[in-house]
Amino acid sequence: MTTLQKTELDELVGTTILYRGEKYKVENYKQLTTGNIVVYTNRQTLNFLPDEISKFLDEVEILQDTKEHWTPAPTNSKTEVVVQLPQENQPLKNTLLDILKDIKESPTPENLKKAESICNISNTIINIQKTEIQMFKMQQKMNK
């Protein structure tokens, strides 16, 4: 979720909106660790994928400014944490285990060169994932 989207969602909290022909009062919203954005309303919970939130914000029409009379709904102090490992981790592990097996069974110069190349690529993938994690942590700090 971008900073602009967060700002727009903040402005919707406490207002009555018209979305796809239905009236809703926006009570709250949050972004899950999966990236999905959940908008809580008085009628139902709206769930959006990260690339769908822009369309939602474009389609929403604020009907009246009721924000000054609004009081937030009580929130649950428990936080849901969902950790999803990158999909490329398992094939990467399998490839590294296969090359390790090849080296043990037949430590030829060709296998050693192949193993070195695979390890270099693996290290690059791991460094990219570390950078993604750092970026995610920075975004979380900025959104607080």
pLDDT at 36 over 60: yes
Paired with 62 in beta bridges are 17
47 and 18 share one domain: yes
- Report if residue 82 sits inside a domain: no
pLDDT at 118 over 80: yes
- Report if residue 84 sits inside a domain: no
* Ramachandran angles phi, psi of 75, nearest 5°: -110, 150
Q: Which of 69, 102, 126 is the last residue of a domain?
A: 69
- Report if residue 28 sits inside a domain: yes
- Report if residue 79 sits inside a domain: no
Provide the residue range defining the domain that includes 34: 3-69
95 and 44 share one domain: no
| pLDDT above 70: percentage of residues in the chain | 82
- Report if residue 27 sits inside a domain: yes
Q: Please enumerate in sequence order all residues whose Cβ is within 8 A of that of 143, keeping only pairs 6 or more positions apart, or say none.
A: 1, 6, 31
62 and 94 share one domain: no
40 and 94 share one domain: no
Please give the pLDDT value at position 40.
Answer: 92
pLDDT at 14 over 80: yes
* pLDDT tens digit sequence for 37-68: 999 999 888 988 888 888 988 888 888 655 54
Mean pLDDT of the chain: 80
* pLDDT tens digit sequence for 59-106: 888 886 555 455 555 655 555 555 555 666 777 778 888 888 888 888
Q: Which of 13, 34, 69 is the last residue of a domain?
A: 69
The three-class DSSP label of residue 75 is coil
List the CATH number of the domain containing 46: 2.30.30
63 and 93 share one domain: no
10 and 59 share one domain: yes
| Cβ atoms of residues 62 and 55 within 8 Å | no
Please give the pLDDT value at position 3.
Answer: 80
How many independent structural domains does the chain possess? 2
